[in-house]
Every structure is written in C-alpha cells, then in structure tokens.
Structure 1
C-alpha cells in the first residue's frame, strides 16, 4: 500500500490497484488504458485488467510487473552498469515515442504546445498570486515571457512525462525490465521528456523515500543524461532547449507552491530556476 501524487496505490502479489481519492473523475485512469497494448521490446509495461468506479471514485486494476524499483538498485550499480541502464531507458523511450495511442483518451490538450504551456503558466500564476512574494511574481512573469519565445511547435510524440527512478523497474542483473505509472503521458514535443528527468537528476533527494534521502543527497551526474538529450533535443539550439525546460520548471514550481505553500526551500528553488541556467550541465 502506498501513495502516488494524488493516487492511492494498493500492491498485491500479482496485481496493483490504483484509486483516485477525488470523487467525480471517472476518466482519471484513461491514460493507463491508452497504453495498455503498448509493446516495448524487452521492457514490460502494465496491462489494464479492469477499471470502474466505487462511490464516485475511479479505480484501475493492472498486472504487477517483476523487478525492483530503480532507486533501490541505482546506488549499488557501478559506472558501467549505470551507463548501460540509462542507455536501455533511452532505447525504450524511442520505442515509446513511436507508439500511437488513442488521443481521445489523453486528458491534456497539447496540439498547440506553446499555447498549452502558456495557459498552464497563467493558471498556476493566478493560483499563487496571494501566496508568492510580489517580487517573485514579477520575476516569474518577466522570465516566462522571455522563455516563451522558444515554445515553437515541434512534431508530437508519445512522452511518459514522469520518468524518474521510482517509475522504472530493474532486474537482478541491473538491467531495465519495466516502466510503470503512465498517468502523465502526453502527445508532446520530444523535449518534454527531459522535464522530469532533469528535475530528478538535479534534486533526487526530493523524490526518493525518506530513508534514502542521504543516499541521494547530491545531484546525479548530468553526463549520464546524454542518451536522452540525443533522443529529445532534435534541431533545438541549446539556448532554446534551456528556455523550454526552464518554462516547464517554473510552472512546476508554481504548482508546488499552490499545493504546499511558500517556504524558504521554495524560495531557493525559484532563485535557481529564475537564474536562467536551469539546464546547465545537460547542455
């Protein structure tokens, strides 16, 4: 039993049950259904067994995949094994990008990527207007206006959208065996996949369980992100990629403040993003 962000998760020997704690969202797990037929060679993904609602709450039952959660395995891997694992993950993402889901089952409207990100920013900014210091609001508006110039449309591919070590499974040989949690999949420009990867790489201790925070108390080696950069950057200049990822990170930070409030840690995070070099080390 455990919690995802906004999800109750019950893990059995052979199945996993996910329940939406909020009432009235019957299509909450349509993303999982959209990719249930996906086939990535050598890498398992969950198959939906059944979906439904109970007392107004959506639920989904999926098969449980074999393997260990990535963040439990990573610390014990040597440099060569780590490089192999990230290369395998990049190859799996290439296959994922080529899968064509039923777009009607995806919640986010991303046909116009620039418009989608701008709307997300404006919505997040309005939500925290009374929480975030005015100075930070003004800086955020100015920075986003600059970064938004790089939000040109690019060909859309299927992106996982929430890739970090908690959503990959690794076998006893240290090889990628599965990818889970497709709740944030989207048809989006390929560089969107770098959003969560870079965030986790920069601040891994914010994502792993408390007992592992000391193990992950330093940023990960950004050189290991090279296979993902080669897959996702395409013809974007380094400057444009930095701007696009900075815009997404700013939206993410605003949404976090809306959910958890303003504090010193958030202030430091905003300073880091608004400095303008969020993708430093990646590019």
Structure 2
C-alpha cells in the first residue's frame, strides 16, 4: 500500500486504505497479511481485515462473538468496525508476535510441544464461554462438516466417483460415520474455535500469546477442536517430526476425550473434515497436492475401522 489511494485497486484494498488513513496510519508501512477468506493488512500498530466480497460476511458477526471471549484467549483489542464500499471490516490493535505456522520450522521439539500445550490451554477458555450467549454469534453450522448423514453419503459417493476411494473404503468410512451419528447426541456442546491450527496462532518470545480468526467458530462437541490437535501429532507425515509431540497431545486427548463424545465422535469429525479437504482440493484450480495426499491417506486409513492414524493415540483410552 502507498500513501495515495489507487482508485483502480481491488475493493478490499481501497477499504483498508480508507480505514487506515482515517486512523492516521502510515500507509506506506502497511503490508499484506495472511488469510484465504478475508484480506488482511498490518501496520506497526493496527491490523485490518476486510471481507473479500461485498455483502453480509463473517467479520461483524465474529466481532460480536470475540467480545465474549475471556482475556486468556489473547484476542487483540478491537478498535473499530463497519461496512465501507459494501465490505465488512474489523480493525484491531496489532499484537507483538509472529504467525506460529511461519516460525514452526525454526522451533525445536521442546518449543513445539510447549506451543501445542499452550494453544490448547487458550482453547480451553474458548470452550468455557457460555453457549447460550455465544450461539447467536457463532456459525449455525461449520462448512467443513456435512449437516446430515445423507449429506455424508452423497459426499462419499462423489469421492468414489472421483477415484479417490474405492467402494470398500467408502463402506468402511460409512460404518464409522454411523457410529458417529449414534454417539453424537450424547456429546456436550461447547464453543469451538472451529479452525484451530498453527496459522491462527500468534507466537512471541517462546510463548503462544493469542488465538486469532474466529470466523468459523461453532457450537458443537469439543471434538472439532480436539481433532486438529490430534492430527498435529498423529496424522500422516514424518514420524521424526510428529513423534516428539505425542506425549503432550496424548495427555490433552486423554483429559478431554470423554467430554468430547468419545472416540467415535472424534473419528467421525476427523473423517468429515478430511472429506471436505479432499473434495476442496479436487475442485481447486491449483490444488495443494500435499494436502490432497494427506486427506486421502487419512481417509483410507480410517476406512480400516481400526482407528487409522489415531490408533496409537486411542489404544490406551478405549
């Protein structure tokens, strides 16, 4: 961004420039941030997120939700929000730190384990938010998970037709998902972050200081967030990278799994998320082949109905 507003720039950038200029920000020092659903820019003191498309989006709803979060979550102070040129936007104070995904390769195993432990500790404060207060401002449903058993069957059929699963694998996944739907009513619902991962975590001076980006927050069993934690240590990938994380993740899962609905609910959410990931990559113009391969590997392993990649995690808990 520059000091002058470029009238030919995309609308989200024009919105960001107008809002930041109104705050007296140094536009020449602003840089583009991460994000795949919203456009983000950062100055030394401020962060602005702008909806990529005009009309009703998630940002103003998210703003109302995060005001309910306890300070232990670390969410940055909201400065202002609004709608400009038809695009929702939210302006916050910038917190010191770096995106955890970006610094992850530079961390040793001890730092990584500590990071996951601290991520979950902050997430626990999200899970304690009053559900009745949060529900009007959370998503009514997550886009990552089919709403009904029929929707799941349709999605599995599509993956078979695409050649990513065979009929036997689809049947195995279907049986696991039948167990999921049976167990689901007994799982207590909480507020989940809904996109709980290292890219939505801020790291500073060896500590997790904040969880960010709550646009996918949803009221559901805590297994939604717990699955993301389990996958970090037990999903496909280099065992030398994942194995050192298993002690801390194992303790987290052991302490949480009963309230999350048990193994069937955890595995069901994991299957559905990987189905969404795989379908999303299949439909992408420029698919991420690593994500595609990981999702396919997770699904084919779960199709064996022995816990898949989570079998070592669940072996001592069943």
State the TM-score, normalizing by the size of structure 1. 0.75
Which shifted more, 241-250 or 68-77?
68-77
- Spell out, residue by residue over 1:92-151, the C-alpha distance to the aligned partner (whole angstroms, 9 max, x if none): 2332222234321112259xxx99564763574477675355625444433322333222
Deviation, 1:51, is: 2.9
Residues 196 and 228 in structure 2, CA contact (< 8 A), matched pair in contact too:
yes
Residue pairs, 1:191-206, within 5 angstroms = 191-203=223-235
Matched, 1:155 2:188: yes
- Spell out, residue by residue over 1:54-73, the C-alpha distance to the aligned partner (whole angstroms, 9 max, x if none): 44433322222211222344
Matched, 1:103 2:135: yes
- Spell out, residue by residue over 1:239-268, the C-alpha distance to the aligned partner (whole angstroms, 9 max, x if none): x63322221122222222332218872543
Cα distance in 1 between the residues matched to 2:109 and 2:278: 36
- 1:211 aligned residue: none
Matched, 1:251 2:283: no
- 1:64 aligned residue: 94
- 1:86 aligned residue: 116
Deviation, 1:91, is: 2.7
Matched, 1:222 2:246: yes
Change (3 A) 1:129 1:75: closer
Residues 134 and 191 in structure 2, CA contact (< 8 A), matched pair in contact too:
no
Matched, 1:187 2:219: yes
Question: Which of 80, 85, 91 is matched with 1:50 structurally?
Answer: 80
Question: Which of 126, 131, 141 is matched with 2:162 structurally?
Answer: 131
Residues 176 and 264 in structure 2, CA contact (< 8 A), matched pair in contact too:
no
Structure showing greater Rg: 2
Cα distance in 1 between the residues matched to 2:241 and 2:94: 31
State the TM-score, normalizing by the size of structure 2. 0.68
Q: Any idea what SS the aligned residue of 1:16 has?
A: strand
Q: Any idea what SS the aligned residue of 1:13 has?
A: coil
Higher normalized contact order (CA 8 Å, seq sep 6+, divided by chain length): 1
CA RMSD for the aligned pairs? 3.5
- Alignment length, in residue pairs? 266
Question: Which of 56, 73, 83 is matched with 1:25 structurally?
Answer: 56
- 1:282 aligned residue: 313
- Give structure 2 stretches of 5+ with no counterpart: 1-31, 284-288
Deviation, 1:222, is: 1.9
- 1:167 aligned residue: 200
Residues 44 and 65 in structure 1, CA contact (< 8 A), matched pair in contact too:
no
Change (3 A) 1:74 1:281: farther
Which shifted more, 125-134 or 174-183?
125-134
Change (3 A) 1:36 1:227: farther
Q: Any idea what SS the aligned residue of 2:195 has?
A: coil
Deviation, 1:192, is: 2.4
